[in-house]
Amino acid sequence: MKVAIFGATGAIGKTILWELMDRGHEVIAIVRDPSKVEMKHERLRVEQGDLLNPDQVADFTAGQEAVVSAYGPKFGSEEELLEVTRSLIEGVRRGKAARLVVVGGAGSLLTDSNVMLMDTPGFPEEVKPLAMAHADAYGILAESDINWTYMSPAATITTGQRTGQFRIGMNRVVTDDLGESTISIGDFAAALVDELDDPQFIQSRFTVAY
Ligand SMILES: NC(=O)c1ccc[n+]([C@@H]2O[C@H](COP(=O)([O-])OP(=O)(O)OC[C@H]3O[C@@H](n4cnc5c(N)ncnc54)[C@H](OP(=O)(O)O)[C@@H]3O)[C@@H](O)[C@H]2O)c1
């Protein structure tokens, strides 16, 4: 499958890139600084581009079977997430890519008491602006007419092993027997590429955890 990915120099995006290459996909990584991409492969093309520029999003994603964004804003610039989301939607619409899969946040997932995770006691105050920006970005995406998919990590995403064993949920936090919601970056990437290979969540949100 032809896949364009943004954020491939980030912690999550880099792991998604490995998973895409492992599964034989043909990938364009659009990054601000191509020298940061260490991987070289005949199925990988690296292009310089900025997500804040919808013309570049449209040009680089034109005709792709999937566009993945693992973009993350800098601490203190969380509002940029909204501009990036609009730029992605406009670019994907104009470039006629088949679908857009966005790596989002867990903060707007619902808990058992029907309260969003970010509104529960103990949710870290310093992460709230990011969680709120992710929730607003999800709203923008959900109102769009493109084939979007919003993927929320578990409450905690770790550097642990890729196991290939995890559970999928939709709008609710997935927790284990101890009430913990965690996923490794490797398993998060595996679940995201599973969704590309076998679409289940067109125009909806899903989450993954152990
Ligand atoms: N539990 C949770 O809810 C949870 C946990 C972890 C992560 N997340 C979310 O998952 C996403 C990815 O996280 P991460 O930890 O992998 O982030 P990260 O390591 O900070 O990576 C962010 C990526 O975005 C890219 N980027 C930033 N501005 C850009 C622009 N204008 N144009 C193109 N690319 C741009 C960066 O590129 P450069 O290398 O050029 O800076 C980098 O590749 C974030 O949105 C984060 O909030 C959620």
111-144 pLDDT per residue, tens: 999 999 999 999 999 999 999 999 999 999 999 9
d(CA 130, CA 178): 26
Best residue among 5, 12, 53 to mutate for probing ligand 1, ranked by most atoms within 8 Å of CB: 12
* CB of residue 184 inside a 6 A radius of ligand 1: no
Mean pLDDT of 137-158: 98
Question: What pLDDT does 160 receive?
Answer: 87
Mean pLDDT of 179-207: 98
| Lookup: tokens for 63 | 């005709």
Question: What pLDDT does 66 receive?
Answer: 98
The domains located in the chain, with CATH, are: 2-209 (3.40.50.720)
Question: What pLDDT does 139 receive?
Answer: 98
Cα 5 versus chain centre, distance: 10
Q: Does an H or E element contain 130, and which?
A: helix 128-142
160 vs 65, higher pLDDT: 65
Average pLDDT score over the chain: 97
**Main-chain phi, psi angles of 89, to 5 degrees:** -60, -45
Residue 73 CA to ligand 1 centre (angstroms): 6
Question: What pLDDT does 98 receive?
Answer: 98
29 confidence band (pLDDT: 50, 70, 90) = very high
* CB of residue 13 inside a 6 A radius of ligand 1: yes
Residue 62 has pLDDT above 90, yes or no: yes
* CB of residue 12 inside a 6 A radius of ligand 1: yes
Residue nearest to atom 47 of ligand 1 (CA): 72
* CB of residue 142 inside a 6 A radius of ligand 1: no
* CB of residue 45 inside a 6 A radius of ligand 1: no
158 confidence band (pLDDT: 50, 70, 90) = very high
d(CA 30, CA 6): 5
- pLDDT above 70 covers what percent of the chain? 100
